[in-house]
Amino acid sequence: MPTSPQPRRVQLDKKPPVEKKERRALLWDILKKLAVFAAPYKMLIIATLILTVLGSFTAQVNAFVLRYAVDTLTEIITLPDPWAAGVRMLAIISAVLLTKEILSIFVSFGQRFFGEKIRINLSRDLSQKIIERILTYRMSFYTSSENDSGKLQTRIDYGVSSLTTLVQNFFIDMLPLFASAIVSLIIMFSTNFWIGLVGLFIIPIYFFISQKQAKRLQGFRRQMRGFREAKSGLVISLINSISVVKSFVRESIEAEKHFNIQKDMTDNQLRIRSIGFIYDAIKTFIEQIGVVAIILLTSYFVLKGEMTIGMILFHVLLFQNVAAPIRQLHRIYDQINNALTYAEGFFDILEDDKQVENVDGVKSRDLKGHIELQNVDFTYPNGTQALKDVSFTIKPNRITALVGLSGAGKSTIISLLVKFYQPDAGKILLDGRDLAECDTHELRQNIGLVLQSNHIFSGTISENIRYGNIEASEEDIIVAAKKASIHEQIVKLPEGYESTAKSLSGGQQQRIALARMFLKDPPIVFLDEPTASLDAIASQQVKKSLDLIKKDRTVIMVSHNIAQIIDADDLVVIENGQVVETGTHEALYAKGGKYFEIFSAMSDSLNLDKISQTIHG
């Protein structure tokens, strides 16, 4: 029998274990970075600490009340008439406990509220900071395989979550417990040195076990990060390719891919839980040994007449106050490990200075549009070399068409001219100035880019057009829409310019993008296959708008459309990342070289002879 194929599992990179000293240094480094974000909330932190100290003292009241109750009852039951004394004792206990609970409500509310406010504000600040940061990065950052949308989103989301959860657990959960433990331990030592020593002795044992637990779980948690990134990427890829999946009826295959990674995640999670349960049982066992030791030792002192019976329960409650936070030490280690696992990647993104675009360069005002490429080489981050020794000149106020087969490197040149990427070698000069020295934002303010598929944002048509000039008036928007030949169709919509832009057809959306370009009114325009995905009528309407865009501007155009190529003043023919011919349409066609070959193939694909017969026949 043929064997069934084994489910494909997600392969995760195995990172070498980080040495203890390195992890401590990394943790300290992360805490210092986090402190920068926490600095504006210094007063909140101080208030939280003060309330935490107050809460640690109120947490000891029950132990004192219980000792008082047991010792007092022991005396009362020997009296001839115990009821009067008993009622008085109950009144005192009730008043103390009621006062303590009221005080605890306010202290606990303030401590938790301030701690939560710190967490929420830090979460907001971290999220905002990293979004502002990555918006300054070059296009190469986004096209890197390490930063695809799924991985990037996971690294950011879990980075922020782990850091803020660490803060939350410290200020809201762990800090009150540890403060209470310290106060309890001090009280135990003040009543009896040996009993305090028992409480103190259990702390290093708990630390040791929690450290072993964290170390055991470290690899599993790193694997979980990889699974989450892979799952997020898989879901995004599925949504983006749903039409292809359905057209090939491959729903079951995609479901199996998701099932495989989900199964790996489930197995990993169960393994983490089972290890946690084992270590929790060990810590509970040790705690019970401590309780027994406290009872035996206190009973010994009671029998010697050095302590009252109430001291047994008193010390047991104090010991439990010491053990409670130590029992939760694995949570601290978990949060620290999560912070190290995710925060390291988070801060790697936040501090990637090499990716920051040059926005402090020379201002590019009053551009003429004279562009010169000198011996330019370029290789994409994935290792694909797109351009080799490319040299040509683009003249101002002329239309230059980049001609070549798909994959020749035409769109890559556009990306370099817009400074989405930097050349590996050679120079690009703009009006005689090195493009690398130009202020990127100022440069792009003077450049318009019309792509094959321009992004339409969620929102109204008016908002999408105004993206070209945020300060534009309604009249300016209408003028731009008229130039893009879309105004008449917009006014026929039920809500006109307030209609949802996403509801428009592909051709209409393309003209919205063109209207956005007219509103920007840049001196240099790059057109990258602006009509390739449109039908004939939409292409003709868009062409009229493009003709207006080209007027009195420097235009660089990538197109496989014969009409647009013939319309160009200058042609640059590119093959396999190299310039093979430059000149006018007439000169290059007469030369009979690569352009002649490409143009002839375009003409044959249009079946011009039959079209001519139909028109003139």
pLDDT above 50: residue 17: no
Q: What is the mean pLDDT of residues 234-263?
A: 78
Cβ–Cβ < 8 Å for 248, 365: no
% the chain with pLDDT above 70: 86
Q: What is the chain's mean pLDDT, rounded?
A: 81
> What are the extents of the domains in the chain?
20-38+119-165+188-355, 359-445+561-617
Q: Is the pLDDT of residue 486 over 70?
A: yes
| Reported confidence tier of residue 112, pLDDT bands at 50, 70, 90 | confident
Torsion of CA 15, 16, 17, 23, to 10 degrees: -80
Would you say 595 and 573 are in contact if contact means Cβ atoms under 8 Å apart?
A: yes
Among residues 344, 150, 127, the alpha carbon closest in space to that of 228 is found at 150
Instruction: Please state which CATH number belongs to domain 359-445+561-617.
Output: 3.40.50.300
Q: Which residue has the higher pLDDT, 362 or 220?
A: 220
Tens of pLDDT, residues 172-212: 777 777 888 888 888 888 888 888 888 888 778 877 887 77
Q: How confident is the model at residue 459 (pLDDT cuts 50, 70, 90)?
A: confident
pLDDT digits (tens, 9 = 90+) for 269-283: 888 788 878 888 888
pLDDT at residue 15 is higher than 60: no
**Percentage of residues in the chain having pLDDT higher than 90:** 9
| Of the candidates 578, 579, 602, the residue with the CA atom closest to the CA atom of residue 589 | 602
Using one digit for the tens of pLDDT, what is the confidence trace for 545-579?
A: 667 777 778 889 888 778 778 888 899 999 999 99
The dotted CATH code for 20-38+119-165+188-355 is 1.20.1560.10
Distance CA 422, CA 426 (A): 10
Distance CA 246, CA 250 (A): 6
Lowest mean per-residue pLDDT among 86-100, 287-301, 356-370: 356-370
541 has pLDDT over 80: no
Closest CA to 448 of 344, 555, 362: 555
Task: Please state the three-class secondary structure of 342-401 as a single string.
Answer: HHHHHHHHHCCHHHECCCCCECCCCCCCCEEEEEEEEECCCCCEEEEEEEEEECCCCEEE
pLDDT value, residue 13: 43
Domains 20-38+119-165+188-355 and 359-445+561-617 share a fold: no
Mean pLDDT, to the nearest integer, of 21-30?
A: 66
Q: Are 359 and 239 in contact (CB under 8 A)?
A: no
DSSP 4: P
Tokens of 217: 């779980």
How much is the pLDDT for 428?
A: 92
Nearest in space to 313 (alpha carbons), one of 56, 62, 59, 58:
62
User: What integer pLDDT is reported at residue 10 of this predicted model?
Assistant: 43
Using DSSP, state whether 555 is helix, strand or coil. strand
